[in-house]
Amino acid sequence: MKQVEVNFDGLVGPTHNYAGLSIGNVASLNNANAFSSPKQAALQGLQKMKALHDMGMIQGVLAPQARPDIDTLRRLGFTGSDSNVLEQASKRAPEVFSACCSASSMWTANAATVSPSADTSNGKVHFTPANLTNKFHRSLEPEVTGRILQATFDNDKYFQHHQHLPENEHFGDEGAANHTRLCSDYGHAGIEMFVYGRYAFDSSKPAPKKFPARQTLEASQAVARLHGLSDDTTVFVQQNPDLIDQGVFHNDVISVGNQNVLFYHEQAFLDTQNALDEIQRKFGEQKLHFIQVDTKTVPVQDAIKTYLFNTQIITMANGEMTIIAPTECEENPIVANYLQELTSLNTPIKKVHYFDVKQSMRNGGGPACLRLRVAMTGAELEAVNQHTLMSDAVFVRLNKWVNKHYRDQLSVNDLRDAQLLDETRSALDELTQILNLGSIYPFQRQ
C-alpha cells in the first residue's frame, strides 16, 4: 500500500467553553465568557472528519481530555468530595478554576510533534507530546495526551513515544503548530521545518515585545534530537516577532506546508529569503512551490481574522491538492478572491472546500488546529488502533454518542455543576470503549 498522510482530528470535549484564557490569541480574548455549544462544536468537528473521509482521505480521531481537571484542583489545595472541590475552587479561585475547565485539547495540532519513519534514524514514527508550558490551562494536557497517543499508536515495532520536554518556559513546545514537513512523497525522507518564536538562552536575540513567543528554538532542537532527525534535512526558522505581537500566536496561523508546497505570508518569518534558500538546498533538485502571499494582496489582519493559513492542504488521490478552509475565508472578499485566484495559478492547489468550524474559530482554532498529521506506510497504518479511524460506522456511532451526552449550550457558570462532571465522565468512559483506548483518564485509574 502507498504511504499516506492521516489527519487525526481532536474530538471536541463535552465541556467546550470560552474562557478568554489565551493572551496573544485574539479570538480567545474576544469571546471570553460567551455561551458555547459543545454539541454543535463536536458535531461540526465530526462533519469535517467525515467529509475528508468521503473525499478519500484516511482520517483518525483523537479523544479529548477530561475536564474539569479535578486532580489538578486537588493538587492546588482543594479538598473534600468532587462536588466540594468544584464549589470551593470556583468561588475562591475562579480564574484557576476556569483554566482547569478548558476543553483546549481539541486542538490536536498542539498535541505533539510527529516525525514519520522515513525521516528518523531508527525508522520508526516518533511522537513527542507538546508541554504547552506557556499557558497554564494547556500545560495540564501533555501527560494524558501521551496516554492517548500511546493508546492510538500502540505498537513498539513501528511507533516510538517520548516524554514531553521539561516543563519550563525555556523549553516551551507547542507541537505540530510550529512544525511542518516538506517532501516529494509522504513515504520519502522530507525536510522537517521547525518554526520558533524566540531563543530561550540568549536574550539579545529578536523576540516579541507584547505577546509571548510560545515556542523556543531550544525546544524545537530538542524534539529534532529526540526524533533522530538529520541536520541535513532539518531547518529551524524564526517566526517574525512583530507578527506574534499582532496576534500570530503559532506559525500555523501564518504558514502551512504540504509535500512540495509551502504556503506562507510575506511577513511570516524573520529572514524569509535565507530560510527558503536553506529549505530548497536541503530539499534537493526538485523545485518546491513557495506560494507567498503579499501584504498588499492579503493584509496580516485579514489573514488572522479568516485563518487563511490555518487551512489544511491535502493531496487527493489524483495528486492534486485541495485547501480545507474555514467559512470565515469565504465570507471575507479579499481572502475569498485570493483563494479563487490561487486555484488557477500554476501550483498543485486546485480546489478549495469551506467548512463551518465556528465553534472552534471563536477560541482561535481553525481547521489546521484541529488536526495532527501522521504520515505512515501501509504496515504502520495497519498497526494503528483501528477503532480510532473514521468510517461510516464510526461516524454514526460518534454522532449518536455526542447527541446522547453533550449539552446544547454551556456557560462558564455551568462548569461548577457536579452533574456536568458526572455527565462528562460517563461520556468519556463510553468513548474509551468506542475507540478502544483502555483507561486513559485519571478518573478511570483511581
Residues near ligand SUG (CB under 6 A): 18-22, 25, 28, 102, 104, 107, 109-110, 135, 138, 177, 250, 252-253, 363-365, 369
- 112 vs 59, 66, 103, 257, 314, CA distance in Å? 17, 18, 17, 17, 20
Output the smallest distance, CB 438 to ligand SUG, in A: 27
- 8 A C-beta contact, residue 156 and residue 150: no
* Helix spans in 153-270 (H): 217-226, 241-245
Q: Which is nearer to ligand SUG, 126 or 138 (CB)?
A: 138
What amino acid positions are annotated as catalytic residues? Answer: 174, 250, 369
Residue 52: strand, helix, or coil: helix
Residue 29: strand, helix, or coil: helix
- Spatial neighbors of 29 by CB under 8 A, at least 6 apart, are 20, 22, 23
Q: Which is nearer to ligand SUG, 115 or 178 (CB)?
A: 178
E-strand ranges in 50-178 read 59-62, 112-115, 125-129, 159-161
Q: Which is nearer to ligand SUG, 210 or 445 (CB)?
A: 210
Using left for φ > 0, alpha for ψ between -120 and 50, and beta otherwise, residue 348 falls in alpha
Residue 127: strand, helix, or coil: strand
Output the smallest distance, CB 259 to ligand SUG, in A: 20
Output the smallest distance, CB 96 to ligand SUG, in A: 14
Output the smallest distance, CB 21 to ligand SUG, in A: 4
- 8 A C-beta contact, residue 263 and residue 291: yes
Output the smallest distance, CB 325 to ligand SUG, in A: 15
Q: Which is nearer to ligand SUG, 20 or 116 (CB)?
A: 20
Handedness of CA 374, 379, 383, 386 (dihedral sign): positive
Q: Which is nearer to ligand SUG, 6 or 381 (CB)?
A: 6
Alpha carbon 309 to chain centroid distance?
13
- 8 A C-beta contact, residue 240 and residue 265: no
Q: How many CA atoms lie within 13 A of 327 on its CB side?
A: 9
Q: Which is nearer to ligand SUG, 133 or 363 (CB)?
A: 363
Output the smallest distance, CB 98 to ligand SUG, in A: 8
